[in-house]
Amino acid sequence: MIEVKDLCFIRNDGDNKQNILNHLDLSVPAAQHLALLGDSGSGKTTFLHILAGLLKADSGSVSVNNQELSTLNEQELALYRRKIGLIFQHYQLLDCLTVKQNILFQHKLNFPNQTASEFDHLVKELGLQNKLNALPHQLSGGEQQRVGIARALLNKPQIIFADEPTGNLDQKRSHQVVKLLTELCRERKINLVMVTHSHQLTDYFDQVKVLRDGHFD
């Protein structure tokens, strides 16, 4: 569950002050999925980074599963970030690691003493069984993003934040990837916030918000 109240974010570039996010309010109930739209530069990534605990808001409150992010210290924020999954436009896979190693790497860092119990199941659901020993450059864009989704889901996150995950994919692959991502999150009752440029992908979501110059329409 995500509750945002009167959130403001200001960027200071020397003498230049820019109000990037202006008095935003948002409520995403537990397990629901939000699509966040808006033109380039409207503040989508900034907003996602605040929700993910990577940036701090200047004022207002951001509560995720009843945790107020502004009150968390660095250590608590690090713990919070372990409970979320991030998916990126450019996949952010490590070039020199195989698909299998890419999927497991972050889990090993975060949870060194736990086995990745969902690995086989996820690989199957994402159709990556025959690609486990391939390197990222040997995969199509859609396949690389499926690796990104497997990596995020393996950590059993409570919430997934995806920043234009289909930005590099054609229309058909975009629909396949978003359908898969929303289905997997629904099965696991995971909150999903996905930034997209495409109005055609919003049918998969419970709620749609449009950011324009730091305001919701």
Ligand X SMILES: Nc1ncnc2c1ncn2[C@@H]1O[C@H](COP(=O)(O)OP(=O)(O)O)[C@@H](O)[C@H]1O
Q: For residues 44-103, which are near ligand X according to CB under 6 A?
A: 44-46
Q: Which among 70, 86, 212, 207 has a CA at the least distance from the CA of 154?
A: 86
Q: Does 41 bind ligand X (CB under 6 A)?
A: yes
**Position among 14, 15, 16, 40 found at the interface with ligand X (CB under 6 A):** 40
CA distance 129 to 144: 13
**Position among 4, 7, 42, 85 found at the interface with ligand X (CB under 6 A):** 42
State the CB neighbour count (10 A cutoff) for residue 132.
Answer: 15
> Amino acid letter at 146?
R
CA distance 25 to 49: 16
**Position among 1, 10, 11, 97 found at the interface with ligand X (CB under 6 A):** 11
CA distance 59 to 186: 32
> Judged by CB under 5 A, which stretch of 37-45, 105-113, 124-132, 167-175 contacts Mg ion?
37-45
Token digits of residue 12? 């200071």
Phi-psi region of 214 (alpha: psi -120 to 50; beta: other; left: phi over 0): left
**Position among 2, 4, 24, 45 found at the interface with Mg ion (CB under 5 A):** 45
Binding mask 14-33 for ligand X (x = CB under 6 A): ------x-------------
> Judged by CB under 5 A, which stretch of 13-21, 40-48, 50-58, 102-110 contacts Mg ion?
40-48
Q: How far is the CB of 196 from Mg ion (least distance, A)?
A: 10
Residue 40 contact partner, candidates Mg ion, ligand X, none, CB within 5 to 8 A by sort of partner: ligand X
